[in-house]
Every structure is written in structure tokens, then in C-alpha cells.
Amino acid sequence: MDKKVTVVGAGHVGETTAQRLAEKELCDVVLIDVIEGMPQGKALDLAEAAPIEKHDSRITGTNDYELSAESDIIIITAGIARKPGMSRDDLISTNTGIVKSVVQAACKLSPDSIIIVVSNPLDAMCHVAFDTSGFPKQRVIGMAGVLDSARFRAFIAMELNVSVENTHAFVLGGHGDTMVPLPRYSTVAGIPITELLPKDRIDALVKRTANGGAEIVSLLKTGSAYYAPASAAVEMAEAILKDKKKILPCATYLEGEYGINDLFIGVPVKLGAQGAEEVIQINLTAEEQAALQKSADAVQELKEILSKLSG
């Protein structure tokens, strides 16, 4: 493989991300974790599946960063996961320290890489990665909207009993309770769902999407979602590695777009070899813009907590 992706954190999200990257034969994968033996064991297990899955991606597990040198992409999944009753925001203090140390170690060895942040609270951790790395804004991106849109799409498909392949959806804003699903821009075979479903059903799907992660946490009781988050991170990585110019909703650093400044927030982005190559600005109604601003205000509060922690 001529491409390398480092996945930091060998928990459920990290190991599943490594598996999907390898099985799509997108790159060689380095899986890093602080727990001795865990990334090595999981990497070996995945390597032993390769003959059956018919791919030749190399998967290496390690506890240090030397093998990650010259990575094209660094996917950060490290950090503590949510437990029942915890919000993503409750994770901020612990995960700030973890993400900061990861970025310092990984970016020194891969100065031209693109960072995809998965660790929660997502938008705040993007700021930590951005500030710590010193990378240009195009090369620090958060995985949020792809996951939230996939959840919205899944719920639409369940509601209308149609193929998920026919569904398209946009979810903007922060990765939390204030996210902004956009029914007007969400379609089935090109038909807006506002023409296919009554308002009360759409409202129910929007609410379920916003609570999508918490719903899974409450069911699992001892962990949080990982299959869909991993798939979302890999879709972003694939768009970058293949320079697809694919438009996906991602957390990116805004400088005036949508009336928002100096903040990571989920908006449609063109993803290619340079990272977040362009922010796509779509027309919002006054109500949608107000909801996006409310979401931005919630992210701003997290950013201010970060400032106090670093201060």
C-alpha cells in the first residue's frame, strides 16, 4: 500500500476503524494504544483474517508512535467513552489531556498528515487538536455530521420501509443535543422527506437522531456506539485518500461562513487530498439559521471551558 493511516486508540471504535480501512484495502494501518499488548493482539487478529477477507493491507499494532511516521491521516479515537447518564461534555477534562498528548506525539512524526478527530466531546476536541498541532484549518476535521446524517438516514429508511441507499440527509451543527438535522435537504430518491412524511413523524425522527448516541449508550449500559462511528471515520478517510472531492457534513473551522467565526462546527465540506478543501454554504431558513447558531453557542461554551482548563 502506498498510503498509511494511523488509528490512535484500540478500543471498539479504533479497532473497527482499522478493520474497515484494511478490508476496503485503502491503506496500511498502524493501530496505537497505551495498553501493552492490546493493539498488537488486535492487529495480529485482523492480519489473520486478511486471507479470508482477501486484502493485502498491512496492520501493525504498537504502543509507541515511531511506526506511525509519515502517515497520510491520523484518526484519533483515544479517550474515555460515555457511560449511562454522562453527556459528551462530561468527558472534556479527561479527554483534553489525552487528545493533546496524542497530537503532540503523532504530528511530530507526520507533519504533513490530516487529522480526523473522533474523540468526544467532538467539537471541543477538534479545537484541542487544531491548537496543539498548529496545522492549517483544512487539515483538522471532526467526524460528526457523517455519523449523525447516517443515523438520520437509517431512521428515515426504517420509517418509510425503503433502501438506505435511496436516502440522503444533512445534519449540521455541534455533535450533541443541539445538532441540526435539516428535513428540507433530506431526501428519498431525490424527494424531500417533507413531502413523504407528516411533520410529527419528521419531528420524532429529528429528535431520535439528536439522541442517537445516548440511545445506544442506554441500551449497551457498559459502552457506546462504535460500528457506525468507525464507518463514518472511514468514509471521510476514503474521500481524502482517493481525493474524491466528496461533499460530507464534517466539523470544520469556520471563519465567517454561516455567520460563525473561529469555531469548529458541522457543515457540508468538500473532502479531498488537502483535507477540508471547501465549505459548502447552503441557504438556511431563519429558523434553521437560529438552530445552527444555538448549536454554535453550545460549542462556544465548551471552547470557553477549554480555555479555563488550559489557563
Per-residue pLDDT at 261: 96
Per-residue pLDDT at 223: 84
Per-residue pLDDT at 311: 66
Contact 211, 177 (CB under 8 A): yes
Same domain, 163 and 97: no
- The DSSP symbol for 54 reads T
Same domain, 70 and 132: yes
Nearest to 208 by CA among 165, 156, 264, 275: 156
Per-residue pLDDT at 222: 85
Query: Residue 48: which CATH number?
Result: 3.40.50.720
Out of 142, 174, 205, a domain closes at 142
Same domain, 228 and 91: no
Same domain, 195 and 278: yes
Same domain, 84 and 224: no
Per-residue pLDDT at 84: 67
Per-residue pLDDT at 309: 80
The amino acid at 92: I
Residue 220 burial by Cβ neighbours in a 10 Å radius (0-12, 13-18, 19+): middle
Residues 120, 146, 193: CA angle, nearest 5 degrees: 130
Out of 82, 113, 142, a domain closes at 142
Same domain, 44 and 129: yes
Out of 123, 142, 161, a domain closes at 142
In angstroms, the CA 223 to CA 217 distance is 6
Element (H, E) at 294: helix 286-310
Query: Residue 206: which CATH number?
Result: 3.90.110.10
Same domain, 126 and 239: no
Per-residue pLDDT at 93: 85
Which residues form the catalytic set?
175
Structurally, the chain folds into a number of domains equal to 2
State if pTM tops 0.75.
yes
Per-residue pLDDT at 82: 64
Per-residue pLDDT at 83: 67
Same domain, 223 and 239: yes
Range of the domain at 218: 145-310
Same domain, 112 and 160: no
Per-residue pLDDT at 253: 98
Same domain, 126 and 150: no
Same domain, 160 and 210: yes
Contact 57, 1 (CB under 8 A): yes
Same domain, 90 and 159: no
pLDDT along the chain (311 residues), means of 10: 96 98 98 98 98 98 98 96 66 91 98 97 95 98 96 98 96 91 96 98 96 93 93 98 98 97 97 98 96 95 87 66
In DSSP notation, 229-288 reads: HHHHHHHHHHHHHTT--EEEEEEEEEESGGG-EEEEEEEEEEEETTEEEEEPP----HHH
